[in-house]
A and B are shown apart, each in its own frame.
Chain A
Amino acid sequence: MNRLIRQSLRIIAAMLLVLNTGCWSSQEIEDLSIVVGLGLDVANESKFERDIAKQGGAYPKRNVLTATVQIVPPISGRGQRQGQGQGQSQGGSSGGKAYLNEKLTGDSIFQIYRQFSVRRDRPLVGHHLKVIVVASDLAKQYSLEQIFDFILRDNDIRPSCLVVVSHRDAIEALSSSEPGEIPAFYLTGLVNNRYRSNKILPPVTLIKLDSTMQSGTSFLLQNVVTYNGEHKFSGAAIFKGSSKKWIGELTQFDVEGLSWIRGDIHGGVLKAYAPGGYTVTYEMRDSSSKIIPKVKDGEISFHIKMKSEGRLIEDWSFPEIPSTEGYLKEMEKVFEKQASKQIDQVLHKMQHVYHVDVGGFDKELQIKHPKLWKKIKDQWDDTFSRIPITYEIDIKITDAGSSTD
C-alpha cells in the first residue's frame, strides 16, 4: 500500500513537469501583428473611417492625430485588399509589398492602438517597433511631450526605438515603392550610414529623446523628405526646448556645419571650388572639436577649436595640377573657407533665426561653469542668441589618394 502511494506520487510529480514548461501566457508569433514602424500625422480620416462612421461605427473622440502602424509581414491577400480598399497612396500597385500600413484617427494614441483590436484579428505587439515618424505638421501643433507620453510609458516599446521627423506626412515616409522593402527597416538602416556622410545626425532614440526633453534644452531630430514612396534623410527638424514643438528646419548644409561644431564626424564629404573655379573634394577621415566657454566679468563667450584630417579625393583641375605639398596647403585653405561657410550659416541660424542652442554649447558651459549655468539655464536659448562665438578650423590633408597627379 505504502509503495503504491509512493509510486503514484512519483507519477503525479512526473506529470506535473508537463505543466512546468513555462508557457503560461504565451502567444504564437504567427498570431501577432508585429509593429515595426509608427507614423504620427495630423488627423486625416481615411475613407474607411468616414464610411464606418456613417454606419454608426464611430466612438466619441476628437480628431487630433492619425496613427499609422506598419506591420510585417502582411497577411498575404488580405494586405492587398485592404491597401486598395482604403485607397491610400501606399506605393505602387505591384503585389510584392513586404509590409502593411494601417491608419486610424483619434485623440489618444493608446486608444487608437487598442482600436486596431476591433479591426484586426491579430493583436498588435510593440516589442519590435524600430522607428517612429512624426509629421512636422503635428509637431507644430502639439508638444512632443504630449505626443510621446504613451510611447514613453508603454512597457512593450523599447527605448532603443529611433525617432525621426517627416517633412510631409509620416505615412508617406512609411511607404515605399520598392517591392520587398520595409520602410521602417530602411529608415533605421540609413542611420548606420553616418560613417559615410556627415549630413546624418547622430540617431535619437526614445531614451535620448526622453532625457533631452527632461533636461529642457532645444534639440534636433533627423528630418526625412519623401517623394512618391522614396525617402531621403535631409537636414534636421528643430525643437524648442521650452515648448518641445517643431519650430523650423536646418538644411543639409547646416547639418554639415553643425557636425563640425560638434566634432562627431565619422566620415563625410566637403566639396569646394578652387580659385580656378574647378571642383575639389575633401574626404574627412577624422575630426574633433572643442567648445571652450569663456566667462569674463559675467560676460560669456565661446571659442570653438575644430580639427580635421582627411584626403584630397577628387580634383577637377584641367590640365591636372600635381598634388604637391604646396598645392595641398593651398587646398587646405580652400576647404577651411568652405567649412567656415557651413559653420557661419548654422551659427547664424541658431543664434539669429531660430534662437536655439542645438550645438551642445549649453553642456560645455554647464560642465565648466556649473554655478553660472544654474543662474542662466532657464532663459538659455535667449542668452545664447547674444553670446559672441569665435572659432578656428584646421583642416589637414594627409594624403592625396592613390593617384597623385
Chain B
Amino acid sequence: MSSSNTGPKENISTSQAAVMVINYMLGAGILTLPRTTAEAVRTPDAWISIIVSGLIVLAAGWILVSLCKRFQGKTWFQFVPEITGKWIAFLLSLLVIGYFMIIAASEIRILAEVTGLFLLEGTPIWAIVLPFMWIGLYLTLGGINCIARLYEIILPITLVFLVLALLLSSKIFDADNLKPVLGSGIMPVLRGIKPTLLSFTGYEIMLVATAFMKFPKKATRAVITGISVPVVIYTFTVVMVIGGMSINGVEKRTWPTLDLMRSFEVQGLLFERFESLLLVIWIMQIFSTFTVTLYAASLGWSQILNRKFRTFVFALLPVMFLIAMIPKDVTEAFKLGDTVGYASVFLFGVIPLILLLVSLVRKKGAKPN
C-alpha cells in the first residue's frame, strides 16, 4: 500500500536510517541545550544529565523499534489500526502527524530567530524562511531515498565542523569550571533529565523509517547508533560550553553554544571567528529536521486518508509556515518547542510501550525473528 503512495522501490540502508535519526535529533536544541540543562541542574554536572537521559532515550528507542519490527514494511499510520482498531488508531496518527507538523514549524521559527539575530539582521523573516521551505519541499518530493542520501552528505560535514569549532574553543576551556563532580549529590543531575530529554526527540522517525528499511531486522542497530552519536555530540558540547563559560555564565546566555564561539578569536587561521561556521552547519541540521518532519507528516496524511503523497507535501507547507508564525516572540517559540517536546515523551516513550504490550497480548504482528 505504501508503494502506491510514495513510488516503487523505496528502501534505505541501515546506516541511512541511523543517519536520519542523527540528523533529526541534532536540530535547534544544540544552541540552547547547555542553558536549559544548566538552568535546571545549576551545578557543573549538567553533562551527566545528558548521558543519563541519553540512556533513557536509548531504552525508549529500543522499545519503539521493537514495536515497529513486528509490522514489517508498515509505518505507524498503517500498523496501529491492527493493534487498537480504526478509531483509536486514527486519533493516535493524528497526534503524531500534528506533532511532526509542530516540530517542523518550531524549527523554522527558531531558524528565523537566530539568523535574524546573528546573521541576517534586517532581512524579513519570510525572506529567510520561504526559500528555506521551498528547498525543503523540493527535497521532500523526492521521497525518503533522496532525503537519506542528502543526509549522508550533511552529516559528516556537520560532525567535522562542529567538533573542529568546539575543539578550537579549548582556548578558553578551564577544567575547574566542571568541578566539583557531583558536589551537591545526585539530585541536580536528576533535575536536569527533564529538559535534556527534549533535545533527544528524533528517534520517532523510526516509526516511519523502519518500514522502508532494506533489512528491518537491523532497525535496532540503526536506532541505537542514531541515538548514541547525538548523545556523544551533546555531551561534548555541554562539556566544552560549561568548561569555557562556567555554569554561571551559561545560565544567563540565550544562545550559549553560539556565545562560546563568539567568546574567542583565533589569529593566524583562515578565519578568526567561528560562529558563522557553527551557524552554517546548524542551519543544515535545522533543514534536515524540517524536511524529515515534513516528509513524515505528509506521509502520515497520505496514508491515513489514502491520498497522493505529493498533494500533502504542498498542502502542509503553508500550514507549517502559519504555525511557525504563531509564537509572538522567542520565549513563546521556545515554549512551543518545549511543549511538543514534552508531548513527545508521552507519545513516543509511553504509547509505544503500551502498544507493544497490547500487540504482544493480542498476538498482533509478526515476531521480529
The chain A residues found within 8 Å of chain B, CB to CB, are 20, 24-25, 155, 158-160, 205-208, 210-212, 214-215, 363, 366-368, 370-371, 373-374
Within the complex, the shortest CB–CB distance from B119 to chain A, in Å, comes to 10
Cβ B263 vs Cβ A159 within 8 A: yes
B7 contacts A by Cβ under 8 Å: no
Within the complex, the shortest CB–CB distance from A295 to chain B, in Å, comes to 14
- The 3 tightest CB contacts between A and B, nearest first, are A211-B249, A370-B183, A25-B122
Cα(A57)–Cα(B242), bound, Å:
48
Known contacts A214-B249, A215-B248: A207-B263 contact under CB 8 Å: yes
Which A residues touch B176, using CB under 8 A?
363, 367
Cβ B248 vs Cβ A214 within 8 A: yes
**A158: nearest residue on chain B (CB-CB)?**
B262
Within the complex, the shortest CB–CB distance from A136 to chain B, in Å, comes to 24
Which B residues touch A20, using CB under 8 A?
131
Which A residues touch B244, using CB under 8 A?
207
Cβ A211 vs Cβ B248 within 8 A: yes
Within the complex, the shortest CB–CB distance from B118 to chain A, in Å, comes to 6
Cα(A207)–Cα(B245), bound, Å:
7
Cα(A160)–Cα(B260), bound, Å:
9
Tell me which of A25, A206, A212, A371 has the highest count of chain B C-beta atoms within 10 A of its own C-beta: A25
The chain B residues found within 8 Å of chain A, CB to CB, are 117-118, 120-123, 127, 131, 172, 176, 179-180, 183-184, 244-246, 248-253, 259, 262-265, 273
Cβ B259 vs Cβ A207 within 8 A: yes
Within 8 Å by CB of B180, from A159, A211, A214, A366, lies A366
Within the complex, the shortest CB–CB distance from A114 to chain B, in Å, comes to 15
Which B residues touch A158, using CB under 8 A?
262-263, 265, 273
Which B residues touch A374, using CB under 8 A?
184
**Can you list 11 residue pairs at the A/B interface with Cβ under 8 Å?**
A24-B120, A24-B123, A160-B262, A207-B172, A208-B249, A210-B253, A211-B246, A211-B248, A211-B250, A214-B251, A367-B180
Cα(A368)–Cα(B180), bound, Å:
7
Cα(A210)–Cα(B259), bound, Å:
12
Which A residues touch B250, using CB under 8 A?
211
Within the complex, the shortest CB–CB distance from B122 to chain A, in Å, comes to 3
Cβ A211 vs Cβ B122 within 8 A: no
Within 8 Å by CB of B179, from A155, A207, A211, A367, lies A367
Known contacts A24-B127, A160-B263: A210-B183 contact under CB 8 Å: no
Cα(A368)–Cα(B176), bound, Å:
11
Cα(A70)–Cα(B262), bound, Å:
21
Cβ B263 vs Cβ A155 within 8 A: no
Within 8 Å by CB of A214, from B172, B252, B264, lies B252
Cα(A345)–Cα(B250), bound, Å:
35
**B179: nearest residue on chain A (CB-CB)?**
A367
**A363: nearest residue on chain B (CB-CB)?**
B176
Cα(A155)–Cα(B120), bound, Å:
12
Cα(A159)–Cα(B179), bound, Å:
23
Within the complex, the shortest CB–CB distance from A188 to chain B, in Å, comes to 10
Cα(A374)–Cα(B246), bound, Å:
17
Which B residues touch A363, using CB under 8 A?
176
Within the complex, the shortest CB–CB distance from B115 to chain A, in Å, comes to 11
Which A residues touch B183, using CB under 8 A?
366-367, 370-371, 373
**B43: nearest residue on chain A (CB-CB)?**
A370
Cα(A332)–Cα(B249), bound, Å:
41
Cα(A373)–Cα(B44), bound, Å:
15
Known contacts A160-B263, A368-B180: A211-B118 contact under CB 8 Å: no
Which A residues touch B180, using CB under 8 A?
366-368, 370
Within the complex, the shortest CB–CB distance from A190 to chain B, in Å, comes to 15
Which B residues touch A371, using CB under 8 A?
183-184
Within the complex, the shortest CB–CB distance from A67 to chain B, in Å, comes to 22
Cα(A25)–Cα(B118), bound, Å:
13
**A210: nearest residue on chain B (CB-CB)?**
B249
Cβ A207 vs Cβ B117 within 8 A: no
Within the complex, the shortest CB–CB distance from B273 to chain A, in Å, comes to 8
**A152: nearest residue on chain B (CB-CB)?**
B252
Which A residues touch B172, using CB under 8 A?
205, 207-208
Cα(A207)–Cα(B256), bound, Å:
10
Cα(A75)–Cα(B250), bound, Å:
40
Cα(A155)–Cα(B122), bound, Å:
13
Cα(A160)–Cα(B266), bound, Å:
11
Cα(A158)–Cα(B259), bound, Å:
8
Known contacts A24-B120, A25-B122: A159-B259 contact under CB 8 Å: yes
Cβ B252 vs Cβ A205 within 8 A: no
Cβ B123 vs Cβ A25 within 8 A: yes
Which A residues touch B246, using CB under 8 A?
211, 215
A158-B265, A211-B248 known; 13 new pairs, CB 8 Å cut-off, are A24-B122, A25-B123, A155-B118, A160-B265, A205-B263, A207-B249, A207-B259, A207-B262, A211-B250, A214-B249, A368-B180, A370-B184, A371-B184
**A364: nearest residue on chain B (CB-CB)?**
B176
Cα(A363)–Cα(B259), bound, Å:
24
**A156: nearest residue on chain B (CB-CB)?**
B121
**B244: nearest residue on chain A (CB-CB)?**
A207
Cα(A210)–Cα(B172), bound, Å:
14
Cβ A210 vs Cβ B252 within 8 A: yes
Which A residues touch B252, using CB under 8 A?
210, 214
Which A residues touch B262, using CB under 8 A?
158-160, 207
Which A residues touch B264, using CB under 8 A?
160
Cα(A24)–Cα(B121), bound, Å:
10
Cα(A211)–Cα(B120), bound, Å:
28
Cα(A210)–Cα(B253), bound, Å:
9
Cα(A159)–Cα(B265), bound, Å:
10
Which A residues touch B259, using CB under 8 A?
159, 207
Within the complex, the shortest CB–CB distance from A23 to chain B, in Å, comes to 10
Which B residues touch A214, using CB under 8 A?
248-249, 251-252
Cα(A159)–Cα(B264), bound, Å:
8
Which B residues touch A367, using CB under 8 A?
176, 179-180, 183
Cα(A158)–Cα(B264), bound, Å:
9
